[in-house]
Chain A
Amino acid sequence: SAVISQKPSRDICQRGTSLTIQCQVDSQVTMMFWYRQQPGQSLTLIATANQGSEATYESGFVIDKFPISRPNLTFSTLTVSNMSPEDSSIYLCSVVAVEQDAYEQYFGPGTRLTVT
């Protein structure tokens, strides 16, 4: 199974600032994704992180607000830009890996962001 780590695990930020979240996987994976979980809510997909090209965003999410990088097969970053209190959420990295000819999906531990 793929082991995912995220940094930071949590942060408290002031409105108007930006935070970059890192996702590191211990093995090369096929796909990487970023999800958001607002307080008391379920998970919502933000975007697919594509290696070497622009991320693919879901409806309601834009690159200017959530720029994403994926320079290689094991690493990705998500930046939450110009933050407001509404951005307070848990941000989760997720990967799809091929195991025994099947695609398995794993989630990281999440980054808990509080915007004041």
Chain B
Amino acid sequence: GNSVTQMEGPVTLSEEAFLTINCTYTATGYPSLFWYVQYPGEGLQLLLKATKADDKGSNKGFEATYRKETTSFHLEKGSVQVSDSAVYFCALSGRGAQKLVFGQGTRLTINP
């Protein structure tokens, strides 16, 4: 079945550091890939997505590229801010309106 594996956390960085959170997946067919962010006490917010190979999703300075050859969708940001502190989830879904399969989440803390 489909599965998502994320880089284990927690991850602690200083402000303005470069961020990478690794995500790899196993899936049949051609899934859509997502990154969600969860702030303390809140629900999940869609951060970015990519629906086909080589697509790059981007939002708020975050980027991730759908790499079919390495089955990866790593999240990157060039210069993190304290306000980026949250839990980040990588997820996939099959074609059409299907359920999301989530990774275990990576807790990110940015220190000033």
Does chain A bind chain B?
no
